[in-house]
Structure 1
Amino acid sequence: MMDANARVIGEPGQWAAIVSGLGPAVCAELAERCRSLYTVTPGVVGQKSLPDHRVGHSRLLPRSALFEDVYQLIRDAGEALNRRYFELDLTDIVKPPQFLEYVEGRGHFHWHNDYGLERPLSKRKLTVSIQLSDGRDYEGGDFEVFGTPQPMPRAQGSIVVLPAFVHHKVTSVTSGVRCALVGWLAGPQLR
């Protein structure tokens, strides 16, 4: 599934990316497969007090034969970049990945981190975001990492990985639609 011509960039401890890691046909097929799922309202901790903190469409990918290749892609990309840039103790995916669509005028996710509250012994430790849209097909919608001066790569098929405790956001989409797959690798609680 990964493109042999992809290149790896990053900032140790902050973020890493496989630029153009997936080809356009793979991205289109993944997006189409994900669109077959039911839409759920994306939420955040404290959603009632921050109703506009995260706005977009979300679909949860079940752990099933239809999406096992996506789970494997998230594991493979996350583990490869973790060995090179982060060296976190990881176990597996403990929360379903999400297919996200941020649409014109109604798509953004303000500053947040993903270090989850799911299980006492297995927290989300690594975020894996896969850019399915062609970055030229929408305006705004930049994926930004706190303390990094430039947005993350928006080339279609790019895979951005960062420790789940690093703050990041998606700026407002002003035209078009930004689609991404996001998954998390968990591990023992940080000390």
Structure 2
Amino acid sequence: MFPDEMSLIVPDALDIATCDRLIANFNDRLDEGGLVQGQAASHIRRSQIGWFNEEQEPVVMRQIVDLVATANRTCFDFGLTDFAENAQIARYEGDQRGHYDWHSDIGASDVARRRKLTMVIQLSDPTDYDGGLLQMNPAGHIVDAPMARGTAILFPSFVLHRVAPTIAGTRFSLTCWVHGQPFR
């Protein structure tokens, strides 16, 4: 694990076979993800998303729970209590200019207000797409997340981040949020 000011990078958080299986299992079960607070907003987000939980993917969720526990203990020391939302698989298509503009993951709903830690795992091989970088802006400067397949990046949910437009190919990622009492 490699901590920096506001994120933690974990290479090989998921192996390639698991990345392939998640893409194959969810690719046909993804719905329009361009909704922002329940409204169509393709200028803000253009993607397809699907959800899974511990019953559907017990091994992956166990890996995520263990990884988050270690990362929080090592780097963040947040008061985390639960995974109040299912994990998300997202697909960003190059022919649709898939993207998600600058945002934080803390929102107005009761659940989103409790998001404390975000984890994104790169599922696609970086040679499968162009563009589509996960970028963070933790302190007024843009930082590109690593694109290596299976790599996880964890960061506080209040950090501004985006998925830059995907120019060609298809990018898949897994995102989950860990919850606790709202930041004060």
TM-score range, shorter chain: 0.7 to 0.9
Residue in 1 aligned with 2:107?
Answer: 116
Matched AA of 2:12 = S
Residue in 2 aligned with 1:69?
Answer: 59
The answer for unaligned runs of 5 or more in structure 2 is none
**What's the C-alpha RMSD, in Å, of the aligned pairs?**
2.1
Question: CA distance change for structure 1 residues 37 and 67 in 2, over 3 Å: closer, same or farther?
Answer: farther
Task: Quote how far apart the aligned CAs of 1:42 are.
Answer: 3.9
Residue in 1 aligned with 2:144?
Answer: 151
Distance, in Å, in 2 between the alignment partners of 1:162 and 1:21 is 15
Of 75, 91, 112, 1:85 maps to: 75
What fraction of aligned residue pairs are identical, expressed as a percent? 29
- 1:141–1:173 Cα contact (<8 Å) kept: yes
Say how many residue pairs are matched: 181
Matched AA of 2:2 = I
> TM-score w.r.t. structure 1 length?
0.85
Matched AA of 1:190 = F
Of 93, 99, 104, 2:94 maps to: 104
Moved more, 150-159 or 22-31: 22-31
- 2:101–2:162 Cα contact (<8 Å) kept: yes
Moved over 6 A (4+): none
Instruction: Name the one with the larger strand percent.
Output: 2
Distance, in Å, in 1 between the alignment partners of 2:62 and 2:179 is 14
Instruction: Name the one with the larger helix percent.
Output: 2
Question: CA distance change for structure 1 residues 54 and 176 in 2, over 3 Å: closer, same or farther?
Answer: same
